[in-house]
Amino acid sequence: MLAVMADPRNWDEVARLVTAAQGGDPDAFRELLQSHRAAVSSTLIACGVRSDETALDLAQEVALRAWRRLATLEDPRSFTAWVRRIAANAARDHLRRVAVRREEELEHALELAGDDDPHADAERRSELRLMLAALEDEDAEVVELLVARADGISVEALAVRSGLSEGALKMRLMRARKRLRERLEELRKSNR
């Protein structure tokens, strides 16, 4: 029974367990989680979670979110889709946090790379401009934003200048840096 709870033939059993869990039965909820473990795991993997350890942590987060929100589930038969949606949101939240952290690390590295030597600072900026040239022409606006950030212009000022919210600007910069890293990796491989 555990592996096939998502099967329509078992919807009545899922509905019974959901109703019992909504009534406060922790054993019923535990059985629901056990029977939907594969659905949660496959959803996390499909959304881009690659680490087994991270997937286990996120599965626990999904269980906690599901328990806290169980009373909001109106149709007990839709538990499978509902818990998958929670898992997808947990994966997206995690991947967003990871991307922001990497973005902050790159910003920090760029800041550390500069020093008080104007020649070294100019050289670093020149290298950055060359790397940015590796991006597609369609990214010209984003290239300008990246260069401006490297020149020390604040995100707030760039957001006002570009007419974007700070969050949208940060996301655009993050995506551009990701494309840049990928393009640079391609260039490194082709030069070997």
Query: Residue 181 belongs to a domain with what CATH number?
Result: 1.10.10
Mean predicted lDDT score pLDDT of the chain: 77
Domain contains 161: yes
**Total tally of structural domains belonging to the chain:** 2
Give residue for tokens 């902050």.
104
Residue bearing the bigger pLDDT, 86 or 181: 86
Distance CA(162)–CA(164), nearest Å, equals 5
Q: Which residues contact 35 (CB under 8 A, 6 or more apart)?
A: 1, 2, 3, 5, 14, 17
Residue 83 lies in domain? 2-97
The two tokens of residue 65 are 């979110």
Q: What is the pLDDT of residues 123-160, one digit of tens each?
A: 666 555 555 555 544 455 666 676 677 667 788 888 88
Q: CA Rg, the chain, in Å?
A: 24
pLDDT in tens, 30-62: 999 999 999 999 899 888 888 888 889 999 999
- The verdict on 58 and 92 lying in the same domain is yes
| CB distance 146 to 173 below 8 Å | yes
